[in-house]
Amino acid sequence: MTIEVTRLDNGLTVVSQTMPHLESAALGVWVGAGSRKERIEENGIAHFLEHMAFKGTKTRSAQRIVEEIEQVGGDLNAATDVETTAYHARVLKDDVPLALDILADILRNSVFDREEIARERHVVLQEIGAASDTPDDIVFDLLSEAAFADQPLGRPILGTEATVSSFDEAAIRGFLDAHYRAPRMVVSAAGAVSHDALLEQARGLFGDLPGAAATQPVPAAYRGGERREERDLMEAQIVLGFPGRSYHAADFYVVQVLSSVLGGGMSSRLFQEIREKRGLCYSIYSHHSSYSDAGLFMVHTATAGEDVPEMIEALVAELARAGADIGDAEVARAKAQMRAGLMMGLESPVACAGRNARQQLVFGRAIPVAETVARIDAVTAADLRAMAAELFGAKAPTLAAVGPLGDLAPLSGIADMLAAAGA
């Protein structure tokens, strides 16, 4: 499964991974422009642009866009994240040219009709309302808001009712023109694809895109803090966060393995102690979100209001214990899970196309699987103990919580508990 990469004269990257045993392909255009690139008054516009790209071009109506892809049995979708927006398709091998043509059309020729903007604004406002009604969604927005206060990284990807209501054609085109530039765009495909054919078509469709470098994001500054929202719910949604590592950090994989040991599966420490032994929750896990210049390590769980004090006590104890007694056997198990997940992902053209595109945007090169495995294997139990002691001994943890919170200690109290437990 050879990965081939070509950079056009304007800076656009074309990457393909041929998987000759397949009859289909996954392909898309990944843009290094997510919610971090937005000014405060633009909050949510990257996501809104993603919606509007499907609402009609100079030659295709919104209905025709979906009909053309579905009449060959394919599917078309998109997603906006903090640092990227992806437009992608899955089709049979003979229909790769059609899919790429549609993707180019929606990115380059969308008309942003006023009536469609008004209609889609209503849809996105409903999406914002639905997220607000979902405690285990909104709690993560609150966590980011506290951890990266007053920064693009701390704002919701969907935007707010006020900002979304203000978007018009000029605002959408302004963001598109400023950030959808060739050096920060990747055409990526995996499966039954020919690199030469993909390259030739991409050159014809995207070769005249502006090549000027896109603006740099506002640097991230982790601050810590708390956001809590009292609601009449059966459970309290709780997320405890700590400063993590960027993709480029030398110890990035140390934090990744630590997350797996602590809360990466049913054999993890948090699941075994808090779910299995104590029965305090249905689900508990840890996760490490990384960005180009920052990271956020978090632990999420939900528990009944009356169990909140015991939950916090147990959680603090497990985090403190990680800095003292993580052993070789559980590290080996976590590494095996990570290696298996990586190898299984290589069997999916969708996963491969996305992985290859993100690596080009983040690192500017394809990362060999052997290199990733070697970095995972190099992590030791001593590395994890030191990292746990550093992360969870931080003076500024972050707390986000939604639900019945009357018995939830203030963040300062939780920080004191962490300090005392780790002493």
Helix (H) or strand (E) holding 399, with range, is strand 398-403
CA distance 316 to 397: 12
Q: Is 161 buried (19+), middle (13-18) or exposed (0-12) by CB count in 10 A?
A: middle
For the CA atoms of 361, 364, 369, 370, the dihedral, rounded to the nearest 10 degrees, stands at -150
Residue 209 tokens, joined: 């895109």
Residue 101 tokens, joined: 């043509």
Q: SS3 of 17, please?
A: strand
* Strand-strand pairing, 398-403 and 225-230: parallel
Q: Are 186 and 370 in contact (CB under 8 A)?
A: no
pLDDT, tens digit (0-9, with 9 covering 90-100), for 353-375:
999 999 999 999 999 999 999 99
Q: Are 244 and 295 in contact (CB under 8 A)?
A: yes
Helix (H) or strand (E) holding 4, with range, is strand 3-7
User: Which regions in the chain score pLDDT beneath 70?
Assistant: 1, 214, 394, 423
240 phi and psi angles, rounded to 5 deg: -110, 125
Q: Is 272 buried (19+), middle (13-18) or exposed (0-12) by CB count in 10 A?
A: middle
SS3 content of the chain, % helix, strand, coil (to 5): 50, 20, 30
Closest among 154, 162, 156, 150 to 138, alpha carbons compared: 156
Q: What's the pLDDT at 423?
A: 59
CA distance 138 to 17: 37
CA distance 266 to 278: 14
> How far apart, in Å, are the Cα atoms of 290 and each of 78, 84, 104, 221, 249?
21, 13, 29, 13, 10
3-206 and 225-422: identical CATH topology: yes
Instruction: Give the number of other CB atoms < 10 A from CB of residue 321.
Output: 16
Q: What's the pLDDT at 1?
A: 67
Helix extents (H) in 133-251: 135-147, 161-166, 169-179, 195-206
Angle CA 291–294–300, to nearest 5: 80
Domain boundaries, given as residue ranges, for the chain: 3-206, 225-422
The domain defined by 3-206 carries CATH number 3.60.20.10: no
CB burial readout 208-245, b (16+ within 10 A) else e: ebeeeebeebbebebebbbbbeeeeeebbbbbbbbbbb
Q: SS3 of 301, please?
A: strand
347 is catalytic: no
CA distance 296 to 180: 27
CA distance 295 to 293: 7
Beta-ladder partners of 57:
110
Q: What's the pLDDT at 84?
A: 97
**Superfamily name with CATH number, domain 225-422:** Metalloenzyme, LuxS/M16 peptidase-like (3.30.830.10)
CA distance 414 to 56: 51
Kindly name the residue from 38, 50, 120, 226 that is annotated as catalytic: 50
CA distance 281 to 274: 7
CA distance 151 to 132: 21
